[in-house]
Chains A and B, each alone.
Chain A
Amino acid sequence: MAKIFIYPATSLILSDLVARYGHTPLSSATAIRERIQTAGIESVPLQITPEEPKKGLKWAAVEVPSGVRGRMALYGPMIEACDAAIVISEADLAFGCMGCARTNELIKYLVREKKVPRLDLNYPKSEEEGVRFVAAIKRFLAEQGGGK
């Protein structure tokens, strides 16, 4: 079974789809859970500690906005760990809002650079497109060794 990075990483729907096919979704929920469940972090329910933007320097230099670096501290390790990725572009806010457009540009670039199997899809605009959308994801997940 593969570790699959999902974009938007905040999408619970996408995360659920990946998990249903026996894979491990790499999503925001996982990264944030690690932080808020780690003993010693004082800032619960904040999703991040003041240290994260410094860790984010690994992915984005100091002249990049601090919020990009803080977000990258969450998403960077997941991209590094992934075996495959599903990237949904033009997603609806309800499907999984990724707050910062600049971070999103960097995430998509890093996923592309990683050269792992990747499924690029646009968010469906009609029911017909929706059916094709889910079928494409199902096919991709099966190709990664997943099955229901």
Chain B
Amino acid sequence: MTSPVRIAQLSCGPEYSGVQQEINEAAKSVNGEIFFPDIALKDIIKNFEEFGLEVRSPDLKLAIARAKALVEGRVDADAIFIATCFRCAEAAIVRNELRRYIRNNSRLPVVSYSFTERTTAGTLLTRMEALTTIARRRALLAREAQQGLTLGVDSGSSTTKAVVMKDNRIIGTGWQPTTEVLGSARDVVAHALAEAGVKRDEIEAVGTTGYGRFLVGRDISADLIQEELTVNSKGAVYLADRQHGPATVIDIGGMDNKAISVQDGIPGSFTMGGICAGASGRFLEMTAKRLGVDITELGPLAMKGSGNRVPMNSYCIVFGTQSLVNALAAGSTREDVAAAACHSVAEQVFEQQLQEVDIKEPVIMVGGTSLIEGLVHAMGELLQVKVVVPRHSQYIGAVGSALLASGFVKEG
């Protein structure tokens, strides 16, 4: 067994929130080991003063001092996990500044998280898995071209996707809503294989990602089972042909959103989550249903309207839907409502998540929602950049999996 990835924890309060054990458990399940950088009292005062952020909380002063010790190499670590209480303004400032400081001054992968007392190990798992992957598998993530004949499956919360790739080209795809996890995965794999005109036993390596990655991975004997943060960022820069230099990947999913700051194809810092379904693809599905159009028609419809004419900016899917119904009842056009829904989702992702990662161009949007033109347009307006949506962006997880899995193709 490989030695555990040493994850330094910078925090203020998880033990008092009752979630420290959950953090430890999440790390342990991906062969990570949480530790608290050990520093002397005189260093705490000195480091904190040198850093220059005058916070009141002693625990945050300690976190700042520990961050400096890590960056300056006085304490060894493979990765850093920053955790502070949700709703604490002072901690939010420190969390953000520490993440930026570490990102700018070291190569250590870092993830930040604001917890509540209800945070569970399951919620943290994907983040911890991404942290340990980046620390452990830099060589695999540096892979720039797909080789051989590989299959990638993305078992997402809303949809399941599969692609077959051969010699750096996509030759077969499969897509369907996720119903029964294994059944959906088997169906999309069958479709992708048929489209590619290859048989399952000809496939040289298989990768899985998404919420169902472990279950599906075991079922189809995957060589690589990987969380979606690293897989999607790799897939995004590959599809957008931006494998070198910085990039920002945004994936607004059915259940949660990911914003990832990428450098040379390797994710550095990322946020994952979402305040509520009001900021997710699910809200756009609901909107399409209420407007009586297919989800594929929502984007073009939104492009014909203006979101400014309809008040809609709720974090909650229930209240968002209420605004939508009220607007329609007050005589708003379907086009304006569609545009407002897209703007609302983009605005909330912008406010809640994109503030936590450094936005560097190109901004690449991926996942099924990237096909909703109105949403991409709204995000571009908010960020004041031209957002890149690569071809096959809806298959991002499956493509990333197939690409990374080719690291397991045996050279013959």
Q: Which positions in A face B, CB cutoff 8 Å?
A: 43, 46-54, 63-71, 74, 93-94, 97-102, 104
Contacts and interface: CB of A to CB of B under 8 A. Distances in A.
A49 B14 CA distance: 11
B15 interface: yes
A52 B18 contact: yes
Given A52-B16, A70-B17, A99-B12, A65 B85 contact: yes
Contacts of B90: 101-102
Contacts of B145: none
Contacts of A104: 56
Interface of B: 12-21, 41, 44-45, 55-62, 84-88, 90-91, 115-117
Contacts of A67: 12-14, 16-17, 84-85, 88
Which of B45, B59, B84, B86 counts the most chain A CB atoms within 10 A? B59
18 contacts: A46-B20, A49-B18, A65-B13, A65-B86, A66-B16, A66-B86, A66-B115, A67-B12, A67-B13, A69-B117, A70-B13, A70-B18, A99-B58, A100-B13, A101-B55, A101-B58, A102-B57, A102-B88
Given A46-B20, A49-B18, A99-B13, A66 B57 contact: no
Which of A52, A64, A66, A99 counts the most chain B CB atoms within 10 A? A66
A71 B57 CA distance: 13
B41 A65 contact: no
Nearest to B24: A46
A12 to B, nearest CB: 14
A45 to B, nearest CB: 10
Nearest to B91: A65
A102 B58 CA distance: 11
Contacts of A98: 58
Contacts of B85: 65-68
A95 to B, nearest CB: 11
Contact of B88 (A43, A52, A65): A65
Nearest to B45: A93
A70 B16 contact: yes
Contacts of A99: 12-13, 16, 57-59, 62
A46 B18 CA distance: 9
A97 B63 CA distance: 13
B144 to A, nearest CB: 43
B50 to A, nearest CB: 16
A52 B20 CA distance: 13
A101 B93 CA distance: 14
B18 A50 contact: yes
